[in-house]
Amino acid sequence: MDHNSDSLADLTPRPKPHVDRCICHEVPFQDILDWAADRGETTLADIEDQWGCGGSCGMCRPYLKQVLETGESRIPLMIEAS
């Protein structure tokens, strides 16, 4: 085994994982932003009513909150420390 190449591979920066959609409903966050742009204020409840997002497993809810707060459609992966 070539340990030198393994060490170099470990030093190569890896892209940071992002979340860009509700997996359960297969809805990209950009689609939600585009829809929300034509509205007044949009809440998580509005998104759930319209798209279903956040109402199934709920894992996208903190990301949707960030999407609404930042206007960004790609949110860095949130890892809960326990």
Which helix or strand (DSSP H or E) is residue 7 part of? Answer: helix 3-11
The nearest distance, CB 40 to ligand FES, in angstroms, is: 23
Q: Please report, as residue ranges, which positions from 10 to 69 form the binding site for ligand FES (by CB under 6 A).
A: 22-25, 53-54, 56-60
Cα of 81 vs its chain's centroid, Å? 18
User: Which amino acid is it at 6?
Assistant: D
* Cβ-based nearer residue to ligand FES, 8 or 57: 57
Q: Rounded to the nearest whole angstrom, what is the least distance from the CB of residue 13 to ligand FES in the complex?
A: 28
Q: Rank residues 8 and 45 by Cβ distance to ligand FES and give the closer one.
A: 45
Pick from 29, 9, 12: which is nearest to 20 by CA? 29
What tokens were used for 42? Answer: 């949009």
Contact residues for ligand FES (CB under 6 A)?
22-25, 53-54, 56-60
